[in-house]
């Protein structure tokens, strides 16, 4: 298959699987996830060239050990899944994650406080984790949980994330609904080039991934990366 410079809905059927793979945060965040599944996740990421795996904090050290010496980074969510923990707890969780090997962090925004009009709290909550991440040169993404927000709240959440210094805004955890093309496009229009956009939640096919990229997503969080690779003709991992 011929490689493509960019991935769009029109070119997805011709896209080289390696191009698609570079967009994917290979994620496994189910409650029942086991050690062996995390090990397999890491092996898949190396095999297909996914830039990052995302695992629960308790599995960060394991993933970091399995991926040592490879280009694949280990990411983990902070404040998962509701984002309602105290800021000090989120900060400690981030510090611990970095201590045991995390190289990217996705923090869940405090939706309850946003909907309560506590914008200073929300911005300071994000900034606290941004500071932890940036002191170690680590990327920080903010999960907005877009399925629970109004259009105005989505715009405000993006603006607060930018003000706090976040590197990415991200659609959702996937627990309350998923990413939509409309939300990704809106988020991109707000952040422009000041931050990147991650689409996550319900992106299960290469065609859906291409639509998100076409709408402005820089990264896709999904547990369906292997199926996408298979659909695009990538060799199977033994």
Q: How far apart are CA 53 and CA 72, in angstroms?
A: 7
Which residues have C-beta within 8 Å of that of residue 190, sequence separation ≥ 6? 154, 155, 158, 159, 162, 169
Indicate which residue of 25, 106, 125, 167 is catalytic: 106
Cα Dmax for the chain: 51
Asked if 209 contacts 23 with a C-beta cutoff of 8 angstroms, the reply is: yes
207 is catalytic: no
Tokens of 152: 């105005």
229-230-234-235 Cα dihedral, nearest 10 degrees:
130
Indicate which residue of 73, 141, 170, 183 is catalytic: 170
| Angstrom distances, CA of residue 117 to CA of 3, 107, 158, 171, 185 | 47, 20, 15, 20, 24
Tokens of 116: 């309560």
Q: Pick from 41, 115, 124: which is nearest to 90 by CA?
A: 124
167 is catalytic: no
In DSSP terms, which residues pair with 199 in a beta bridge? Answer: 220
198 is catalytic: yes
Active-site positions read 106, 170, 198
């Amino acid at each position: 298959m011929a490689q493509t410079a960019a991935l769009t809905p029109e070119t997805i059927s011709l896209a080289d699987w390696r191009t698609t793979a570079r967009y994917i945060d290979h994620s496994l965040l189910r409650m029942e996830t086991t050690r062996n599944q995390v090990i397999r996740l890491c092996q898949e990421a190396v095999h297909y060239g996914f830039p990052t795996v995302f695992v629960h904090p308790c599995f960060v050290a394991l993933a970091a050990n399995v991926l040592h010496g490879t280009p694949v980074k280990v990411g983990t969510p902070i404040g998962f899944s509701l984002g309602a923990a105290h800021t000090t707890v989120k900060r400690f969780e981030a510090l611990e994650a970095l201590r045991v090997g995390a190289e990217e962090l996705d923090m869940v925004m405090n939706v309850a406080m946003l909907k309560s009009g506590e914008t200073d709290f929300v911005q300071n909550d994000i900034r606290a984790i941004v500071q932890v991440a940036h002191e170690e040169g680590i990327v920080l993404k903010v999960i907005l949980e877009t399925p629970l927000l109004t259009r105005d709240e989505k715009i405000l959440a993006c603006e607060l994330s930018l003000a706090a210094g976040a590197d990415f805004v991200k659609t959702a955890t996937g627990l309350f609904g998923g990413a939509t093309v409309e939300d990704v496009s809106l988020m991109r229009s707000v952040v422009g080039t000041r931050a990147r956009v991650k689409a996550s939640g319900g992106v299960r096919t290469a065609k859906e991934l291409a639509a998100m990229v076409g709408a402005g997503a820089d990264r896709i969080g999904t547990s369906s990366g292997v199926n996408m690779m298979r659909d695009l003709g990538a060799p199977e991992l033994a």
